[in-house]
């Protein structure tokens, strides 16, 4: 029995993985990653700068967009050191504590982004279904309180994850299949019973992204019902057009997230490369595309951005 126990040990680190079989060209692969990070950080930072400095943008829609930009920057900062570390410097080792901290911030910011998308759906719901009370419902103090509550609740829900993982011993096969740490993969490295972690992870997912996506769907059902009751075809299209940016952002966020979850649970024979690529898409594409989507669809915001760069 002791011999069996000796094969288990508290590993000092995990090994992260880039793209298997492509180690010789990792430096070249790092180029698009560097561009994605640079464009994403600049884009979200510009959104924050313009919203803060321009009083005409101190409206609910742009404040929610600023919250989304802050969350996207949090995701980028959480993943940047390990992803670029692998492709630029072949730095694969990550200590347990660093790994646990990274997965905490990744999952927290993902959950917070989901809640921001829910708040943005609520903004569109009030603007279309109850426009006369829009200004009285979505006041700046109320928006700040809603944002703070969501942030605190989401951090509280994800806080137990690293502490639960820290109780385990980890086996010698401690090679992770991604360039960053996520809970559902790290817990599988444990030599212990992970039932509690698995159940808690599912509960957190349901209470955050699952519930948020359901409420967003219900919001758009009510929006569609209201819009279809509008007699004027032009007014109907104008109302729906205000939702296009948010719908695009929602699809960019939830589609790769759901696809990756389905593959992890049911796609046992799926290509590992597909899982790796989806893992990058669901973390890096939303922060890259969100500022672009809103800049393209919002002429007012686009004009402000152009003015900043032409000064």
Domain extent listing, the chain: 13-310
Q: How far apart are CA 182 and CA 156, in angstroms?
A: 17
How high is the pLDDT of residue 271?
Answer: 73
Residue segments in the chain with a per-residue pLDDT below the cut of 70 = 1-12, 172-173, 231, 264-270, 311
How high is the pLDDT of residue 184?
Answer: 84
How high is the pLDDT of residue 148?
Answer: 95
| Cβ pair 165, 10 in contact under 8 A | no
CB atoms near residue 262 (< 10 Å): 12
How high is the pLDDT of residue 222?
Answer: 93
How high is the pLDDT of residue 235?
Answer: 77
| Cβ pair 272, 176 in contact under 8 A | no
* 50 contacts: CB under 8 Å, gap ≥ 6: 57, 301, 304, 305, 308
Using DSSP, state whether 115 is helix, strand or coil.
helix
List Cα–Cα distances, 260 to 118, 141, 153, 254, in angstroms.
21, 37, 25, 10
Using DSSP, state whether 13 is helix, strand or coil.
strand
Q: How far apart are CA 37 and CA 232, in angstroms?
A: 44
How high is the pLDDT of residue 158?
Answer: 95
CA atoms in the 13 A half-sphere facing the CB of 270: 17
Q: How far apart are CA 45 and CA 173, in angstroms?
A: 40
Closest by CA to 19, choosing from 33, 36, 4, is: 33
How high is the pLDDT of residue 9?
Answer: 46
For the domain 13-310, what is the CATH code? 1.20.1070.10
How high is the pLDDT of residue 265?
Answer: 65
List Cα–Cα distances, 73 to 89, 161, 195, 208, 296, in angstroms.
23, 22, 33, 20, 20
CB atoms near residue 174 (< 10 Å): 16
Q: How far apart are CA 283 and CA 279, in angstroms?
A: 7
Buried b (16+ CB within 10 A) or exposed e, 18-44: bbeeeeeebeebbeebeebbeebbebb
| Cβ pair 286, 113 in contact under 8 A | yes
How high is the pLDDT of residue 11?
Answer: 54
């Amino acid at each position: 029995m002791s011999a069996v126990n000796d094969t288990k040990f508290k590993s000092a680190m995990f090994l992260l993985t880039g793209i298997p079989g492509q180690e010789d060209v990792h430096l070249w692969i790092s180029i698009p990653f560097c561009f994605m990070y640079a464009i994403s950080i600049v884009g979200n930072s510009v959104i924050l700068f313009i919203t803060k400095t321009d009083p005409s943008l101190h409206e609910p829609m742009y404040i929610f967009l600023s919250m989304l930009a802050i969350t996207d920057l949090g995701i980028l900062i959480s993943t940047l050191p390990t992803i670029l570390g692998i492709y630029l410097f072949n730095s694969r080792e990550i200590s347990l504590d660093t790994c646990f901290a990274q997965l905490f911030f990744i999952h927290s910011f993902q959950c917070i982004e989901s809640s921001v998308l829910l708040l943005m759906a609520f903004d569109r719901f009030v603007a279309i279904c109850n426009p006369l009370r829009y200004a009285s419902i979505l006041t700046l103090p109320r928006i700040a309180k809603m944002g703070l509550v969501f942030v605190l609740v989401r951090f509280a829900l994800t806080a137990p994850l690293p502490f639960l993982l820290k109780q385990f011993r980890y086996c010698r096969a401690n090679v992770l299949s991604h360039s960053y740490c996520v809970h559902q993969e790290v817990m599988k490295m444990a030599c212990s019973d992970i039932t509690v972690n698995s159940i808690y992870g599912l509960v957190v997912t349901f209470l955050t992204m699952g519930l948020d996506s359901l409420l967003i769907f219900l919001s758009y059902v009510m929006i569609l019902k209201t819009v279809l009751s509008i007699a004027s075809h032009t007014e109907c299209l104008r109302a729906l057009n205000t939702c296009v940016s948010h719908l695009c952002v929602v699809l960019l966020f939830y589609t790769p997230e759901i696809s990756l979850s389905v593959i992890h649970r049911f796609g046992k024979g799926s290509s590992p490369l597909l899982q790796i690529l989806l893992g990058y898409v669901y973390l890096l594409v939303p922060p890259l595309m969100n500022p672009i989507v809103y800049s393209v669809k919002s002429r007012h915001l686009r004009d402000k951005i152009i003015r900043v760069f032409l000064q």
